Amino acid sequence: MVEAIKSFKEFQELINGEEPVIIDFYTDWCGPCRMVSPLFERLSRQFTAVKFRKVNAEEQEQVSQEVGIRAFPTFVVFQNGNKVNEVVGADPHRLEAVVQNTSSLVA
């Protein structure tokens, strides 16, 4: 199961690490978020070298504002404090491609 980020401090620690992390920014009321969530969970089990996390944008507003989230769902890849990639919207093919690309960043 993909773990939720519970604080801004936890977010900062995760994104500044050497390991890439893919973060799913969602809201509870977002239909497309619920549609793509099972795929994100499946990918997290398939690509175990990559960290997968999720952020409820309404509960963690500071994190969402820091990243500049404007639409849901948005998937953002971070490594070494930098935004490496992003998928805006529930696009399963694009999400899978970004996850595969991110797994190649793992040394």
Omega of the bond leading into 20 within 30 degrees of 0 (cis): no
Q: Annotated catalytic, 63?
A: no
Three-state secondary structure call for residue 63: helix
Q: Which two tokens stand for residue 96?
A: 């899978």
Please pick, among 33, 43, 76, 77, the residue that the annotation labels catalytic.
33
Q: Which two tokens stand for residue 12?
A: 């900062």
Q: Is the separation of the CB atoms in 21 and 50 below 8 Å?
A: yes
Q: Annotated catalytic, 11?
A: no
Please pick, among 30, 39, 88, 106, the residue that the annotation labels catalytic.
30
Q: Which residues are catalytic?
A: 30, 33
